[in-house]
Structure 1
Amino acid sequence: MDIRHLQYINEIVKQRSFTKAAESLHVAQPTISKSIRNLENELRFELFNRDGKAVKLTDAGEVVYRYAQPILQLFDSLTAEVNDLSFLHKGSISIGLPPMAGSRFFPSVLKRFQERYPGISVQMVEYGAVRIEESVGSGDLDVGVVLTPVDTELFESIPLVREKLNVIMPTSHPFSGRQSIALSELSSERFILFSNEFTLHDRVIEHCRDAGFSPQIVYESSQWDFITEMVASGLGIAMLPETICRALDPVQISSVPLIEPIIPWELVMVWRREGYLSLAAKAWIAFVEEMFA
C-alpha cells in the first residue's frame, strides 16, 4: 500500500465512479482499476462492491477509507510545508554578531532580509568573535560574523568590512587632535579593552608586546558603548574601528588614527564547510553577499 492507493480510493468514493475518478486525477481508468485490484490482492479483501453501476465500499473498504482521510490530510500538510521550505516561505536561521558589527552594520540588512523573506525566522545572538567562531564550528550557530584571519579548512567565508583601528581618548588628553599615533607612544597609557571573548582583546595585547611593552589594562568590557563612556570619563584609552569612531561625540572623545603598526579590523561572515546548511541559511548568505558587495 502506498499514498497513491489512498488517493485513488478517496477520489473513487468522492466521484462514485472509477471512470470519473480517473478523469479527475488525470490518469487512465485502467490504471486506477489495476492499482485497486493489486491493493485488494495485497489485503486479501475486496474494497469496492462492483455490482451494478453504483460503486460502493465494502466493510473492508470502509475501514481503509476511514484511515485514509487523516493520512491524506497529513500528507498534504507535509507536502505544503516542504514546498514552503523550498520556496523560503518558512525556515529559520541562527546568526552570531559581535556587538559592534551588529549595531553599526546589520540593522538595515536584517530589515531588508525580513522584507524579502518574511517567513524566515531569524535568531540573532551577540557574542564576541571568539565565541561566535566556536559556536559556528560546533554547529550551534548557522553563520557568524568574525574577524580575520579564520580557519579556511573549517570555514567558508565572504568578506564584509575592511577598516583600521583608531585610538580614542578624552578630548583633554595631550594626544588629542593629532594626525596619527604610533603604538609605541602609548606604553605609559591605561588601556580599556574588550573582554577576552573578543578577538581584539588578544590582538591589541600582541601588538603592544611587539611594540616593546605590555599594556596596563585597567578595565575590560563586552560593550563598546560602555568602553567609550569610560574613555570619555578619563579612565583610559581604547581602540575602536573607524566606523564606530565616526559615531562618537567629538566634544567628549578624540579619535586619532593608529600607525606603526596599522591594526586592521576586517569582518567576514563564516559558516562550516562540512555539514548541513539550510535553505534559509543559504538565502541569508547570498543576501548578505549582495548587500556588502
Structure 2
Amino acid sequence: MNNKQLHYFTEVANQQSFSKAAEVLHVAQPAISMSIQKLEQELDLKLFHRSDRKIRLTDEGKRLLIHAKTILKNFADAELEMHELKGLTQGCVRVGIPSMLGSYYFPPILMAFKHRHPNLNLEVIEAGTWQLQQMVEHGELDLGVIVSEFVPETLHTELFLQEQMLVTVDKDHTFATQQSVTYEDFFSEELVMFKEDYFHRKVVDRLAKQVGAQPNIGFETNLIPLIKSIVKQGFGISTLLGMVIEEDDNLVALPFHHPVWLDLSIAWSKDRYLSKANQAFVGFVLDYQSSQKANQAL
C-alpha cells in the first residue's frame, strides 16, 4: 500500500466513479482501475461495490477511507513543512472572513500583509461564520474569522478584536434620541437581518430566545449596502458593527441596554499543520490589532 494507491482510492471514493476520478486526476482510467485492483489484492479485501456502473464503498472501504484521508493529510503537511524549511518565500494563505469585517476592517490588513510578503498568495473567501467554521474544520480553508461564542473544541483560536453589536436605525427613528435600546423594544420593531449562518443573526436569535421574543424579520439579506439602504428609508432596523456606519450621517448606532460584545477570533484546525505562511498571517493580524490599540491609547 503506497501513497499513490491511497490517492487514487480516495478520489474514486469521492467521485463515486472511476471515470470521473480519472478526469480529476488527469490519469488514464485503466491505470486507476489497475491500482485499485492491486490494492484490493494486497489487502485481500473488496473496497468497492461495482454494479451497473455505480461505485460505492464496502464497509471495509469506508474504514480504509478514514485512514487514507489522515495519511494523505499528514503526508501533505510533512511535505509542506519540509519545503518551508527553505524560508518564507512561497506559500498561500487561505482565509475566510465574514462580510462586515471583510469590507470594513480587513482591507488595510490584507494590503499591508501582501506588501510585507509579496511572494505569498492570498486567497480570501467571504461567507457566514457557520460556513467558514465548517470549511476550516473540513480543510477547505486554513484560517477563518469566527465569533468565539460559537467555537467548537476542534479549532484553535486567537482573539484579536472585540466589537459591540449596535442597534442601527435611521436618523428620524424614535430610537435615535435614546441612549440605549432594550431587547424587548428592539424585537418590537420590524427587522432587517443577515441570513441564519451569519454571526449577527446567531446572536440576535440567541437574544430573542433569551427574552422570549419572536423576531419580526421583514428583510433578510447578506448585502450590507442593501441593509443600510433599507434602514435609511425607514423600512426596518438592524444591528451592525460601529465600523460599518461610523462615516454615515444618515444612520444612528445605539448600544443595547445590556451591551452585547462580540469576541472575534481567528481560528484554525487543531488537527492540521499550520503553514509558515498562515502562521505569519496570524501573527500579522495580532500585531496589527495591538498597534491599533496602542495608537488609540495615545
Q: TM-score with structure 2 length normalisation?
A: 0.66
SS in 2 for 1:175: helix
Counterpart residue number, 1:255: 253
Which is higher, the Rg of structure 1 or of structure 2?
A: 1
Residue by residue, what CA displacement relative to the aligned partner does 1:230-280 show, whole Å, maximum 9, x if unpaired?
Answer: 101111000112222323x22x222221123x2222211000111222221
Counterpart residue number, 1:132: 132
Query: How far is 1:83 from its partner?
Result: 6.2
Query: How far is 1:220 from its partner?
Result: 0.8
Residue by residue, what CA displacement relative to the aligned partner does 1:138-162 show, whole Å, maximum 9, x if unpaired?
Answer: 1000001111224352111111111
Task: Note if contact 1:167-1:240 (Cα within 8 Å) is conserved in structure 2.
Answer: yes
Task: Note if contact 2:166-2:253 (Cα within 8 Å) is conserved in structure 1.
Answer: yes
Counterpart residue number, 1:55: none
In the aligned structure 2, how far is the partner of 1:215 from the partner of 1:88?
Answer: 49
Counterpart residue number, 2:116: 116
Counterpart residue number, 2:87: 87
Counterpart residue number, 1:46: none
Residue by residue, what CA displacement relative to the aligned partner does 1:61-85 show, whole Å, maximum 9, x if unpaired?
Answer: xxxxxxxxxxxxxxxxxxxxx7677
Residue by residue, what CA displacement relative to the aligned partner does 1:22-72 show, whole Å, maximum 9, x if unpaired?
Answer: xxxxxxxxxxxxxxxxxxxxxxxxxxxxxxxxxxxxxxxxxxxxxxxxxxx
Gaps of 5+ in 2: 1-81, 291-298
The alignment status of 1:285 with 2:245, answered yes or no, reads no
1:148-227 to 2 correspondence within 5 Å? 148-151=148-151, 153-227=153-227
Task: Note if contact 2:194-2:221 (Cα within 8 Å) is conserved in structure 1.
Answer: yes
Change (3 A) 1:152 1:84: closer
Query: How far is 1:137 from its partner?
Result: 0.7
SS in 1 for 2:177: coil
Q: Which amino acid aligns with 1:194?
A: F
Task: Note if contact 1:177-1:254 (Cα within 8 Å) is conserved in structure 2.
Answer: no
Counterpart residue number, 2:43: none
Task: Note if contact 2:195-2:222 (Cα within 8 Å) is conserved in structure 1.
Answer: yes
In the aligned structure 2, how far is the partner of 1:287 from the partner of 1:181?
Answer: 36
Task: Note if contact 2:105-2:243 (Cα within 8 Å) is conserved in structure 1.
Answer: no
Counterpart residue number, 2:264: 267
Query: How far is 1:228 from its partner?
Result: 0.9
SS in 2 for 1:229: helix
Change (3 A) 1:185 1:283: same
Q: TM-score with structure 1 length normalisation?
A: 0.67
In the aligned structure 1, how far is the partner of 2:207 from the partner of 2:216?
Answer: 13
SS in 1 for 2:174: coil
Change (3 A) 1:245 1:266: farther
1:33-44 to 2 correspondence within 5 Å? none
Counterpart residue number, 2:28: none
Size of the aligned set, in residue pairs, is 209
Q: Which amino acid aligns with 2:251?
A: I
In the aligned structure 2, how far is the partner of 1:151 from the partner of 1:162?
Answer: 15
SS in 2 for 1:225: helix
Query: How far is 1:194 from its partner?
Result: 0.5
Identical-residue share of aligned pairs (%): 26
RMSD: 1.7
Counterpart residue number, 2:243: 243
